[in-house]
């Protein structure tokens, strides 16, 4: 029997050596057809329950990632459901979790585990459904011991292109380190959950269009974002799983950080605490 050396292999997805090298060199990779159409349908119903607002008691974990916290659900442009597996444990260990876990192990090593999950959806005809330029690490606490390397896997549940706001990246920007981030709505993390990093007008950017079932994988420092949804009738739905080292995840949990928007500890409060201790 021939051993498969690339692509889907039961619950795993096997990367090529070139793909692994590209992730570490460029800060991202694009993988085609990580889930089949049949597999996508097994997770779509749960996804839509969150995005349609049918899951109760989420607090700020159901919010608009393109607007302030006080925006009404019916006015959301970029629906953001954080930690869906916490609010509906039955989705744990689904096929996307398993495949993305296998990808993370190949990129980060065997001691990697799921840090958080997230459902995102840009509603049709929402040109303001913009994900501003940012680095994921800008949203997370500082002072994490060991490597902060992260494999964030983003699954396309719809074809994604420039019209409906596909992901765009600045290749290699992870090598610059963490850049200053500014909140868009107010001066505190309490009033503004959206952060932005300045990008020069002449910066070289790359669009990452996807077909349904494709994924992107990016690290914690690459500068990335996405435009609004200018399509009159197409959604752009994305299922995210993010993996980090067990040491890193354990540290986050030890300080009370779970990636929930309901956390009392944020990048801002933890940074302030560390500065107080050093003064």
**What does the pLDDT read at residue 279?**
34
What percent of the chain has a predicted confidence (pLDDT) above 90? 79
Using one digit for the tens of pLDDT, what is the confidence trace for 142-155?
778 888 999 999 99
CA 95 to chain centre: 18
Place of tokens 């690490």: 137
Mean pLDDT of 59-78: 91
Residue 189 has pLDDT above 80, yes or no: no
The residues near 5 (Cβ < 8 Å, ≥ 6 apart) are: 14, 16
pLDDT of residue 66: 86
| pLDDT at position 274 | 35
Over residues 65-74, mean pLDDT: 87
Burial of 74 (0-12, 13-18, 19+ CB in 10 A): exposed
Asked if residue 1 has pLDDT above 60, the reply is no
Rg for the chain, CA atoms, rounded: 18
Q: 66 near 229, Cβ under 8 Å?
A: no
Q: Where are the domains of the chain?
A: 9-278
Residue 37's H or E segment, with its range, is helix 37-51
Which pLDDT score is estimated for 248? 94
Say which CATH topology domain 9-278 has: Jelly Rolls (2.60.120)
Q: Distance between alpha carbon 34 and the CA centroid of its chain, in Å?
A: 17
SS3 of 163-227: CCCCEEECCCHHHHCCCCCEECCCCCCCCCCCEECCCCCCCCCEEECECCCCEEEECCCCCEEEC
Is the confidence at residue 266, as pLDDT, over 90? no
Q: Does the pLDDT at position 159 exceed 50?
A: yes
Provide mean pLDDT across the span 195-223.
95
The predicted structure's pLDDT at residue 265: 76
The average confidence (pLDDT) of the chain is 91
Mean pLDDT of 157-171: 98
Average pLDDT (193-201) is 87
pLDDT attached to residue 29: 98
The four Cα atoms 263, 133, 160, 12 give a dihedral, to 10 degrees, of -60
DSSP 129-160: --EEEE-GGGGS-S--SS----EEEEEESS-B
Q: What is the pLDDT of residues 80-120, one digit of tens each?
A: 999 999 999 999 999 999 999 999 999 999 999 999 999 99
């Amino acid at each position: 029997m021939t051993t498969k050396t690339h692509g889907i292999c039961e619950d795993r997805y096997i990367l090529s050596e070139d793909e692994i090298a590209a992730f570490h060199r460029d800060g991202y990779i694009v993988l085609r057809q990580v889930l089949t159409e049949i597999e996508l349908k097994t997770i779509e119903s749960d996804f839509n329950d969150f995005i349609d607002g049918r899951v109760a008691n989420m607090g700020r974990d159901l919010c608009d990632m393109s607007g302030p916290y006080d925006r009404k659900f019916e006015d959301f442009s970029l629906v953001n459901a954080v930690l869906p597996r916490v609010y509906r444990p039955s989705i744990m260990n689904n096929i996307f979790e398993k495949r993305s876990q296998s990808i993370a192990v190949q990129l980060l090593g065997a001691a990697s585990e799921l840090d958080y999950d997230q459902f995102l959806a840009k509603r049709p005809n929402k040109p303001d459904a913009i994900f501003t330029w940012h680095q994921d690490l800008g949203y997370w606490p500082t002072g994490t011991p060991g490597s902060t390397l992260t494999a964030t896997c983003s699954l396309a549940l719809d074809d994604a292109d420039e019209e409906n706001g596909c992901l765009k990246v600045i290749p290699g920007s992870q090598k610059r380190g963490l850049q200053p981030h500014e909140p868009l709505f107010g001066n505190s993390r309490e009033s503004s959950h959206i952060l932005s990093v300045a990008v020069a007008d002449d910066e070289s950017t790359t669009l990452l269009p996807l077909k349904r079932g494709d994924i992107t994988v990016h690290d914690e420092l690459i500068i990335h974002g996405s435009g609004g949804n200018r399509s009159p009738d197409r959604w752009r739905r994305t299922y995210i799983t993010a993996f980090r080292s067990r040491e890193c995840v354990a540290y986050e949990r030890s300080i009370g950080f779970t990636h929930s928007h309901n956390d009392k500890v944020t990048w801002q409060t933890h940074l302030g605490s560390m500065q107080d201790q050093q003064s």
